[in-house]
Structure 1
Amino acid sequence: MTLNASLLKQGAACGQEGVPPPPLLLSLLDSSHHILCVSHVSPDGDAVGSLLALGSILRAQGKRPTLALQDEVTSEFQFMPGAEKIIGPAEVAHSYDLIVCLDTSSIDRIGTVYIPEIHNQIPLVVIDHHVTNTLFGTDNWVDTGCAATCQMLVRLADALGVPLSEEIAFSLLTGLVTDTLCFRTANTDTNVLQAALRLVNAGASLEFVVRNTLDSRSLGLVRLWGVGLANVQMEEGIIWATLNAESRQRSGVEPHQSDGLANFLVTVREADISATFAQRFANNGQELIECSFRAKPGFNVSQVAYSFGGGGHPPAAGCTVSGSLQEVSARVVAALRELRRQSVDGDSG
């Protein structure tokens, strides 16, 4: 797979308002029939929503899309129509006309549904809104001015001449709602609200989406939050909580499902940045820590996430770090503390 240098500038222009779908992307979609659509590991609402919506858009054009994720769709998103048709790594074929990667900042975040030695010769299109995107595709459509990849797909449907059906609108609204915490994040602008209005007018129910995502959590998750809240620590505007593997397994909650606790912690008045550290063990026994960060305006936690091999956005980011829970949390909190100190000093200067 060779990166088209002329399109690198298209991807680099991501901060501009309303970056249109690149002509090569539209051409590749038009000329391809059997298309593999993938998103990132530990899929969130924007990943699942954009994946399902793109599948519907492509089917409306007579294409044959295959939707695949490394990790299973968690219970919080299984209510979405078509979620049961998303396949895992074992079912992914070797031959496709095109691969489209959604809401994913780097190629390693796709996981095992993308096998470089097998899929490397297939054109790879990237559609994403993360500021940390590494432009790893044959063609890259990256617009960090969008609050969600689902917002970009509203524009893609328009460019392809595909009407927003109720099913497409439902999937896209789910991504918008979950990535903006129901339009409460700093990147919620008039473009986001106008896109949401179009989706509601197309038949998507905002109340239903919110009730089944942000306002829905398992008893196990609530109990896990209790464990985290019991060991909350705070220093110099950084608030954090640790969740060991035993507590998580007892609650039946996956590490990435504890992200909501970071959202809750950042609401503490005295805090500028929040973090959660969820311990898990890989199949080979390696200890891994899932780190999730949230920040109030003026603090870019994606910088810290990126420095530890992760990514995200200024107010919300994350990474997975190898090491013990105590050692990793200490290292990362130190980096967050330094980030906050530099940000505060920069403002005062």
Structure 2
Amino acid sequence: MISPESLRQSKRLLSEARRPLLVTHVAPDGDAIGSLLSMGWVLLAQGKSPTLACQDAFPRRFAFLPGFEKVVQDPPPGPYDLLVTFDCSDLDRIGRIGQSIGRGLPLLNIDHHVTNTRFGTVDLVAEDAVSTTHILYHLIRHLPHPIDKRIATCLLTGLVTDTRGFRTANVTPEVFHIAVELMEIGAPLATITRNSLDRRPLAALRLWGAGLTRLQSADGVVWTTLPVSVQQTIGHDGYGDAGLANLLISAEEARVAVVFTEQPDGAVEVGFRAIPGFDVSHIALQLGGGGHALAAGCRIPGPLEAAQRRVLTLLWQDLASQKERTPPDDGRHPQPE
């Protein structure tokens, strides 16, 4: 539930700002990108001068989104009068941008992760929202500028990607009503779905193949590892596991799926997915990460084999206490991070 007071305070911060810095998380997904771009268009329409930034380059499959080319990886030093973060459970998620810019600025934190640490001057956080763009839809309705086709396209992209095409367990009739409204404004659902869900680089498919050859399963957990050497051989230079964890959770034997992706610096990114009735968010939080009950992640020290043993041991212990809570009909569709 979105707090009316948080909406009021968010509107106040945005109305007072003239040169806001808008930032989303490293390894951006469709919700992060759609959130950043939609608010950028809203503020531009109000005569403001926002800077849109993300440490990592956006995946090319999102190039159809209006404003894609306006995002910078190294924002100028300012001056800025407001920092707005999108889809970040904690401030570290914006990467090096947060280390060099934004200190001392009022901070508007807009997010839907259950593990959000409430790090903002104002926290517009709703864990029951299906995406951060879901929250932004309601916020923008309280702002002077109406939702146009550009904004609608960006908002709908977040809804589509974070619900895997409206298939997650948290999708409600209200979400469909919002989607219909955005389509009536002009958002192209088919284009959004094709580019954000159905297309991926050839290297990502090769990464999936490599991961599947290393697949293991035991006691309700399906997992695989992606060593740096394998990624380099394939030519994968994208983010994380390229969506492999979403594929693994479709296995009938899986209650939880895990992908361990080794990084060039020796650290290991861990991506969790779960079926409804199980919660992987608190394991991720315990390991320094965060996310949702059904989709979470963290980054832990290597080496890869030791990281795998550490996580699986904790996971099996935790799952043993959760098994009796599994619903008879699990729905099989976890929510992406």
| TM-score normalised per structure 1 | 0.90
* Deviation (angstroms), 1:115: 2.7
Equivalent residue for 2:330? none
Equivalent residue for 1:43? 28
Separation (CA, whole Å) in 2 of partners of 1:288 and 1:233: 21
Separation (CA, whole Å) in 1 of partners of 2:282 and 2:41: 35
| Residue 318 of structure 2 is aligned to residue 339 of structure 1 | yes
Equivalent residue for 1:219? 202
Separation (CA, whole Å) in 2 of partners of 1:192 and 1:347: 25
AA aligned to 1:39 is: T
AA aligned to 2:225 is: T
AA aligned to 1:316 is: A
> Superposed, which structure 2 residues align to 1:130-141 within 5 Å?
130-141=113-124
Change (3 A) 1:28 1:184: same
CA contact (8 A) 2:278 2:325 kept: no
* Deviation (angstroms), 1:339: 2.1
Separation (CA, whole Å) in 2 of partners of 1:140 and 1:335: 31
Give RMSD over aligned pairs.
1.6
* Deviation (angstroms), 1:345: 4.3
2:216 to 233, 242, 248: 233
Equivalent residue for 2:263? 280
Superposed CA offset, 1:126-184 (max 9, x none): 01000000000111110011000011111111000321111111111111111110011
Equivalent residue for 2:16? 31
Equivalent residue for 1:146? 129
Superposed CA offset, 1:41-88 (max 9, x none): 111111111000000011111111100011111223233221121111
CA contact (8 A) 1:45 1:174 kept: yes
DSSP-derived class of the 1:133 partner: coil
Aligned length: 326
* Deviation (angstroms), 1:301: 0.7
* Deviation (angstroms), 1:220: 1.1
Separation (CA, whole Å) in 2 of partners of 1:193 and 1:92: 39
AA aligned to 2:92 is: D
Equivalent residue for 1:61? 46
Superposed CA offset, 1:219-278 (max 9, x none): 111111011001100010000011111221233324634241111110111111101111
* Deviation (angstroms), 1:26: 1.0
* Deviation (angstroms), 1:300: 0.7
AA aligned to 1:77 is: F
1:96 to 75, 80, 96: 80
* Deviation (angstroms), 1:346: 5.3
| TM-score normalised per structure 2 | 0.93
DSSP-derived class of the 2:267 partner: strand
DSSP-derived class of the 1:294 partner: strand
> Superposed, which structure 2 residues align to 1:255-334 within 5 Å?
256-282=239-265, 287-334=266-313
DSSP-derived class of the 1:41 partner: coil
Separation (CA, whole Å) in 1 of partners of 2:3 and 2:235: 41
* Deviation (angstroms), 1:347: 6.1
DSSP-derived class of the 1:26 partner: helix
CA contact (8 A) 2:130 2:159 kept: yes
CA contact (8 A) 2:240 2:269 kept: no
> Superposed, which structure 2 residues align to 1:156-171 within 5 Å?
156-171=139-154
| Residue 176 of structure 2 is aligned to residue 181 of structure 1 | no
Which sections of structure 2, spanning at least 5 residues, go unmatched? 328-337
CA contact (8 A) 1:69 1:86 kept: yes
Equivalent residue for 1:5? none
Separation (CA, whole Å) in 2 of partners of 1:23 and 1:177: 27
DSSP-derived class of the 1:146 partner: coil
Which sections of structure 1, spanning at least 5 residues, go unmatched? 1-15
Separation (CA, whole Å) in 2 of partners of 1:346 and 1:180: 23
2:3 to 19, 29, 44: 19
